[in-house]
Structure 1
Amino acid sequence: MNKNFLALGLAAALLAPQVAGAEGFAINEWSAEGVAMGGARMFAEDDAANVAYNPASITKVKGEVMKSSYTYLSPHGNYKLYDSNNDEIKGEPTHNKVHAGWAVGTYYVRQINDKEWFGIGAFPRFAMVSEFERNSKASTNAFFSKLNGVSVTPTYAHKFDKKWSAAVGAEINYVGLELQKNLVIPTAGVNGTTQIEGESYALGWNAAANYAFDDKNEIGVVYRSRIKHSLEADLKGYGTKSPASTLGGSNDVFGNAYGVVTLPDSWDIGYNHKFDKKTRLELKATRTNWSTYDALNVYFDKSLIGIPGKVESSPSAKNWSDGWRYAIGLEHNLSDKYAVMAGFAFDESSIPHDGGDFMVPTGLRRTYSIGARYNDKKQTVAVALGWMDVGTLDFAGHPEKGDAYSSAHAYDSFTKIASISYQRKF
């Protein structure tokens, strides 16, 4: 065993940069090959990113490999706001501010012997970033929202025979959350800006299994546990103090905020078919139990307007529903060194009318992607391009909680995707 390479692999995985995804929440863009195949990449040969897509498939890695992947996501979208009479509010900005994000993945896999493998990855499972004009009415709901996320997943895999392989791993999940919005309470003379910023670490686990019927057909299942975060954050209110406040000092309020969020568990079910030595097809279905995201309630240790008992919390019911993601991916080897890939994915929308907001203003999603790969005996380079067509989303505003609109309509939204991966064998 080369201890220097092992140390390098572990350090690269553990020190992977924090990421911010595009408008969405669940991230599936873990490698360029995965992007190219629509996320249907559970059975790849000699790919360290199997740590993310299907831990049981790290048994397909020969020797020792390291991989890094960088995916660029650029979200674009339009929206309309409506008042209590269902009349469109005119004079508003009609689109988001383009705030691109990166999904970064780092992976290391080592074959211990003919039966055992070790792998570790650092990649985002949940992340998002969205931004809107600060002077818009949408800003009373949110004008800047960012969730940085990274999961570190040490994994052990075992190959029982030619048909069965399985894996189990831990997940160390980090989230960094920042929320900004305008706080407008005319009756209290308040017109300010609030910012909540904090981070949290929590533990989860995953398990996976593969079964090969023959040389051409294989199935796999991956389960990832739910993860509960207890977030402690800094609270800042700029210009939020009411003229009626009995507290002295500036018009700003500083304190602490607290909240609990449960990230959902999920199931991946995949099927792989090899037509011949050059061409294979993957199908994948993912069930994500978004119903765990029932609320985003944030509690403050002091009043944002400086009047005890007033604006000491920010309750927000979500009540998302469980949803499915379906993907199909095709990989064709042009030669021993070159391959092309294509994919398509369809994501159901899990956001109900009363649970939508400008943090994640996305409906159902269709993603079209293509890619290419070069490899020799020591290294692999892959690139991919994708286009995510985001469906419409209608959601309610909550004027009683400070929203300056009664309903919203997000439409003509899309995300541009570009990815590159590099893998090295030792």
Structure 2
Amino acid sequence: MKKHFFALGLAAALLAPQAAGAEGFAINEWSAEGVAMGGARMFAEDDAANVAYNPASITKVKGEAMKSSFTYLSPHGKYEADVVAGGGTEYGQNKVHAGWAVGSYYVKQMNDKDWFGIAAFPRFSMVSEFERGSNAASSNAFFSKLVGVSVTPTYAHKFDKKWSAAVGAEINYVGLELQKNINLPYVALGVVKPGVTTVGTTQIEGESYALGWNAAANYAFDDKNEVGVVYRSKITHSLEADLKGYGKLSATGGDVFGNAYGCVTLPDSWALGYNHKFDKKTRVELNATRTNWSTYDALNISFDQPVLGKFGADSNKNWKDGWRYAIGVEHKLSDKYTVMAGYAYDESSIPYDGGDFMVPTGNRRTYSIGGRYNDKKQTVAVALGWMDIGGLNFKGHTLATGGTDAYSEARTRDNYCKVVSVSYQRNF
């Protein structure tokens, strides 16, 4: 029977869930309990999702546990863009394109000292969509999607009552799709019509697998105070994609079909956590995560077929490293019912000259609450979150500066995201 449950848990964790973050990039919504506590979930007791939040804490799982989590994210926002041709300001909004973050987790206690865990969850994902017509925003990107899934087999060891540590591999999948419009001079009977443009459209779509690793350690000062650290390595993807160009984009003035090549580097990060138990019912977690976004210095794509006479498209990003801070509180009302609340603040890492409509987000503040029911065999949790996404000002890269953007500057505003999450865990 145990072998059956082990095989079932392994298969469930290896299912690659499709995930799309709502106009974000880094995903932290890995379980309903994690959402409820603002992502400050590094020291949870008997929680299989510890494989994601803090691998060293899978030593807190007793026996064997499987968990599934489903988080719904619904983004909303508006923008303004200063149009180059003819001047004036364009007003618009993103299309409400909800995303899902799905996680599967499995943990097995091998003996008093050793644990094994495996998970499939999204670390980086995003989706943004705007009107596809001939407007300023679409010249930069009217549809952008990065689907990311990490599969993380993990080994953890408990040295004594104070120390535990873990190490794991990461098999990371990304699927990337980018669509944009290119404004072209309108030609009739071989004559260019001044001030009149037509629109060509490009689509780049591909996927890649790459390897990374992670390590974590916990130290308990006493029964009430514990600290932990988690490191996740950077992962570099060499992406081969399909290129499709519609409109007068080729040398002969027709469509273009070929291949595109590029590199996407997902950054490494450090997470530091502190856990304090006031008593047997109430505890608080503090968490600070530094993500080295400076690895995302450019998004350069090369083509094997010329598009408007060019064999590539370069875009400097020059993002800066950033911090995420979170605090979460958990209080047991009884042996079966628990309430949770959390707050998180994410710094924006996007500079003025490196922003775009792919990830048009500023500083983010997330407020969340949740509840959980548990007995000896199962746990059910639900959470609600409200993400206040700050506005972002960013520069357009126009034809005059070697780009294709039809705006000189753009600004996002009134951005927010609604979050709903549910988790179910079964213990054996």
**Aligned residue in 2 for 1:160:** 159
**Aligned residue in 1 for 2:266:** 263
Q: CA deviation at 1:137?
A: 1.5
Query: 1:155-304 to 2 correspondence within 5 Å?
Result: 155-186=154-185, 191-241=199-249, 245-246=251-252, 251-304=254-307
Q: CA deviation at 1:4?
A: 1.1
**Aligned residue in 2 for 1:139:** 138
Query: For 1:346-389, what per-residue CA distance to the aligned partner results, in whole angstroms no more than 9, with x for missing partners?
Result: 00010000000000000000000000000000000000000000
Q: Is 1:93–1:133's contact at 8 Å kept on the other side of the alignment?
A: no
**Aligned residue in 2 for 1:97:** 95
**Aligned residue in 1 for 2:407:** 405
Distance in 2 (CA, whole Å) between partners of 1:85 and 1:14 is 50
Query: For 1:274-328, what per-residue CA distance to the aligned partner results, in whole angstroms no more than 9, with x for missing partners?
Result: 00000000000000000000000011001124xxxx1321100000000000000
Q: CA deviation at 1:88?
A: 4.3
Distance in 1 (CA, whole Å) between partners of 2:350 and 2:86 is 21
Amino acid at match of 2:288: A
Q: Report the structure, 1 or 2, having the larger strand content.
A: 2
Structure 1 counterpart SS, 2:160: coil
Distance in 1 (CA, whole Å) between partners of 2:249 and 2:282 is 65
Structure 2 counterpart SS, 1:94: strand
Alignment: residue pair count: 415
Tell me which moved more, 330-339 or 18-27.
18-27
Structure 2 counterpart SS, 1:342: strand
Q: Is 2:140–2:181's contact at 8 Å kept on the other side of the alignment?
A: yes
Q: Is 2:85–2:406's contact at 8 Å kept on the other side of the alignment?
A: no
Q: CA deviation at 1:94?
A: 1.8
Distance in 1 (CA, whole Å) between partners of 2:55 and 2:340 is 22
Distance in 2 (CA, whole Å) between partners of 1:67 and 1:53 is 14
Structure 1 stretches of 4+ with a deviation exceeding 4 A read: 84-88, 187-190
**Aligned residue in 2 for 1:57:** 57
Q: Is 1:181–1:193's contact at 8 Å kept on the other side of the alignment?
A: yes
**Aligned residue in 2 for 1:129:** 127
Distance in 2 (CA, whole Å) between partners of 1:58 and 1:204 is 20
Query: For 1:190-236, what per-residue CA distance to the aligned partner results, in whole angstroms no more than 9, with x for missing partners?
Result: 62111000000000000000000000000000000000000000000
Structure 1 counterpart SS, 2:34: helix
Amino acid at match of 2:330: E
Structure 1 counterpart SS, 2:75: strand
Q: CA deviation at 1:83?
A: 3.7
Q: CA deviation at 1:84?
A: 5.3
Query: For 1:233-291, what per-residue CA distance to the aligned partner results, in whole angstroms no more than 9, with x for missing partners?
Result: 0000012335xx347xxx32100000011110000000000000000000000000000
Q: Does 1:322 align with 2:325?
A: no
Give 5+ residue unaligned stretches, structure 1.
none
Q: TM-score under structure 2 normalisation?
A: 0.95
Distance in 2 (CA, whole Å) between partners of 1:234 and 1:381 is 42
Distance in 2 (CA, whole Å) between partners of 1:71 and 1:298 is 32
> What is the alpha-carbon root mean square deviation over aligned residues?
1.5
Q: CA deviation at 1:9?
A: 0.9
Q: CA deviation at 1:34?
A: 0.1
Distance in 2 (CA, whole Å) between partners of 1:11 and 1:398 is 46
